Structure 1
């Protein structure tokens, strides 16, 4: 809901009554989406000029890490079918299904969408071979046969000039990332196929996690409105198959459990808080940059006006930190060496002046034009909630924002947007953010709940068309 498209709902209602058409806000939505499309176009044109001039971007199809490769594949019919079904039946089903049915249905449908997109490139190229390239985790599995020494010596192989240096993705992450695939190998789920299945299955569960968090933090109506957009996200192009999709799910469940613990809408809030902390700790040891998830966690506590889950969550995080530290891995040393390694490669010549805004074009591509329009409504909803009342200017603006579901949603999505901007300004994300920023992009998608219901099918069509075009016209790397 938004102040521009008002509805009257009670906490028990599952659907909102028909909204009164308002041309001005909807025209503004289209203008925002058009601005997003222009940003992507300009990034592509300027990036191509830079790359052809001096090759400093190290990309074939800027701003994406991709190559021009129009193609069809075995996943094409399935992707078209899933897209059509979600566009036609997604909004009414999201409104009518019981909550217990909606959450697993969203996960299953997100999985079907991601699998079908991955299989457009075929089984080997799209799934089984993705995590088995020379840059990826599976190439070093045997070096972890003796686990203790491998973890203790992990930082000794990060730099490019170090003996037996790690491949790019292993060096670029703390050891929990590669240890995930070592664990799969140890239980007999070895090879790229099982790694791909793991990442798609776990990664798509982020849709369910965000739904649960939205219901706890805003209301059920808002969560239901966002559900089809969480399922049909263009981000699925990169989530299947990418370890970053798996990272996004771990972070999403950490935040969902924190929301449940903070709102006490779960039978065992103490267990939820502790589990949230454990997952937050794991998130930090999956990717250095995901420490920025703390900004979204802070928004969760701000929305719920409580720090009650914090002590247990911190205990859970401390347990993960202690485990890796006692095993011999120094997170801060690893991060310091990663920064040095980062500038030993393409990042040394990739121009910051281009990527500081071109990264945002990548974010438009993974979240879609519907999310851009939703974020416009988010930015409108926040100041609207802070307008003066009949008794004068509100002295507690955050309290005013928390008063309505749209205000609480605004706080959540603005926190995710802040995390994206901080990552962007850091200079540690020059290119490839369509994959790296998946954990943050997941929390921008709920802004689509603010779009008017009678336009949801139109916006879902735009989301699906973007994903289908990218996956059929380009070959995305990593």
Structure 2
């Protein structure tokens, strides 16, 4: 017996979602302003629900960002059908991300990953990689003479190893690291349409408002690696498992890629698990056990502002930040699609865990971008692309983001 087709979603439900999202963002901003006016050391986000400062500004990237957005709005829907659509989209997404970053200026772009809280602060101190891996977990808790800096302690060693490797091949320093994160992060724009087998999503991925945080944060790089891993699962599950196994050592939170991975791999899950376990086993043999790191990072989380930031605010304000990341088209495109549902499950688990209080505009990038899968079926595409561009440009010009 032939199954029933799912009826198309009416415009009214999409409009309701947009109104709810708008009210959620407004509420998060208003509550954030009120709480910060009373005590700025409670939610620790001056531009809550985003991590940054309210600081309207223009920059050298402003004209380029506006021009690229205009061209994508005008030509994107047609170019999605071009024989070279994927390389064109990748180049355009990379250019758009760079131009957004340049709104804040080159000097800020090249120093994002070099501060005392970031990965590159530790890179010159890594002279013995095997010894580093064997002693990595012991240095995660804070208030020790050799405690890792904030971002290194909060992630498995794969993230630090990535930047150490760049340094070893002659690409050290903030400029190379930041450019690398943008180039790798933008791979998601190619990997996702290949995975869902629909190029209609391309222009929406190019104008993904989350590009504000891809340029630049290490989480933007994680997003690209994760998207490539999910795609590889659909073609070569063993290789995809290896890449997603590596993702486990970029960020503990990327274990929540599991719902997306299961959708991608189907019945060949055994091959994927074999690939992932090979990576886990290799790190274990080198001296780092993932579960030990995870338990200690929870301790470190509550040794800092994670203990102060209130769950009652962030458990819903995180979703307001997410709405700004995926933009109006992402919200309007939410539907009963397997990729959207899988990404939503991952985000809900992260949100309820209490280990994602603030800064989710970058932390959730690897999941959030998959919510745009539903935009492939949107009508009035230029109108929704305009809404995406306006969101990205408004956020980047009104808020001086920390990433």
Task: Give the one of 68, 73, 76 matched to 1:82.
Answer: 68
Q: For residue 291 of structure 1, what is the aligned residue in structure 2?
A: 255
Matched, 1:471 2:396: yes
Report the Cα offset of residue 26 of structure 1: 2.9
CA distance in 2, matches of 1:175, 1:224: 35
2:245 aligned with 1:281 = yes
Q: Give the match's secondary structure for 1:443.
A: helix
Residues in 1 aligned to 2:274 and 2:348: alpha-carbon distance in whole angstroms: 29
Matched with 2:274 is 315
CA distance in 1, matches of 2:182, 2:373: 21
| Structure 2 residue aligned with 1:4 | 8
2:88 is aligned to: 105
Aligned twin of 2:339? 412
Match for 1:44 among 29, 32, 36?
Answer: 29
Alpha-carbon distance in structure 2 between the residues aligned to 1:318 and 1:59:
38
Report if the CA contact (8 A) 1:39-1:361 is conserved. yes
Q: Pairwise mapping of residues 416-427 of structure 1 onto structure 2 (< 5 A)?
A: 416-427=343-354
Contact residue 231 and residue 264 of structure 2 kept, 8 A = no
Aligned counterparts of 1:2 and 1:78: Cα–Cα separation in 2: 42
SS at match of 2:388: helix
Q: CA deviation at 1:53?
A: 2.4
CA distance in 2, matches of 1:124, 1:275: 38
For residues 238 and 259 of structure 2, what CA distance do their matches in structure 1 show?
19
Contact kept? 1:157, 1:163, Cα under 8 Å: no
1:182 aligns with 2:164: yes
Q: Within the alignment, does 1:163 sit opposite 2:154 as a pair?
A: no
Q: Distance in 1 between matches of 2:147 and 2:18?
A: 44
Mapped to 2, the partners of 1:58 and 1:93 lie a distance apart of: 42
Count how many residue pairs are aligned between Structure 1 and Structure 2: 398
Farther off after superposition, 33-42 or 170-179: 33-42
Structure 2 Cα separation of the partners of residues 428 and 31 of structure 1: 29
Determine the structure 1 residue equivalent to 2:365.
438
**1:15-164 equivalence runs, <5 A:** 25-54=10-39, 55-95=41-81, 97-98=82-83, 101-125=84-108, 127-164=109-146
Verify the 8 A CA contact 2:237 2:272 in the aligned structure 1. yes
Say whether residues 1:257 and 2:232 are aligned partners. Answer: yes
| 1:170-209 paired onto structure 2 within 5 Å | 170-209=152-191
How far has the Cα of 1:27 moved from its partner?
4.3
CA distance in structure 2 between the partners assigned to 1:162 and 1:370 by the alignment: 46
Q: What is the match of residue 209 of structure 2?
A: 234
The Cα of 1:275 is off from its aligned counterpart by: 1.3
CA contact (8 A) 1:255 1:297 kept: yes
Q: Per-residue deviation at 1:358?
A: 0.6
**What does the per-residue CA deviation read over 1:322-377, in whole Å, with 9 as the maximum and x for residues that have no partner?**
111111112111111100010011111211111111100010011001111111xx
1:458 aligns with 2:383: yes
* Structure 2 stretches lacking a partner, 5+ long: none
Query: Alpha-carbon deviations, 1:29-70, whole Å to 9, x = none?
Result: 333222211111101101221222233101111111010111
Q: Report if aligned partners of 1:292, 1:419 keep a CA contact under 8 Å in 2.
A: yes
Q: Kindly indicate whether the alpha-carbon contact (under 8 Å) linking 1:196 and 1:242 is maintained by their aligned counterparts in 2.
A: yes
> Hey, what's the Cα distance between the residues in 2 that align with 1:170 and 1:422?
23
Once the two structures are TM-superposed, the CA of residue 2 in structure 1 deviates from its matched residue by: 7.8
* Distance in 2 between residues matched to 1:2 and 1:224, nearest whole Å: 22
Matched residue, 1:16 = none
Hey, what's the Cα distance between the residues in 2 that align with 1:69 and 1:161? 33
> TM-score, structure 1 length as denominator?
0.81
Give the drift of 1:476.
Answer: 0.4
The answer on whether the counterparts of 2:241 and 2:271 sit within 8 Å (CA) in structure 1 is: yes
Q: CA deviation at 1:191?
A: 0.2
Secondary structure of 2:122's counterpart equals: helix
RMSD (CA atoms)? 1.4
Q: Is the 8 A contact 1:2 1:450 kept in 2?
A: no
Long gaps (5+) in structure 1: 6-24, 216-222, 262-271, 383-409
Contact 1:33–1:370, Cα closer than 8 Å, also in 2? no
Deviation string, structure 1 residues 43-102 (Cα, Å, up to 9, x no partner)? 11012212222331011111110101111111111100100000010011113x12xx11
Deviation at 1:447, TM superposition (A): 1.4
Match of 2:249, SS state, is helix
d(CA) in 1 for partners of 2:237 and 2:341? Answer: 23
Looking at structure 2, the residues matched to 447 and 353 of structure 1 have their Cα atoms a distance apart, in angstroms, of: 30
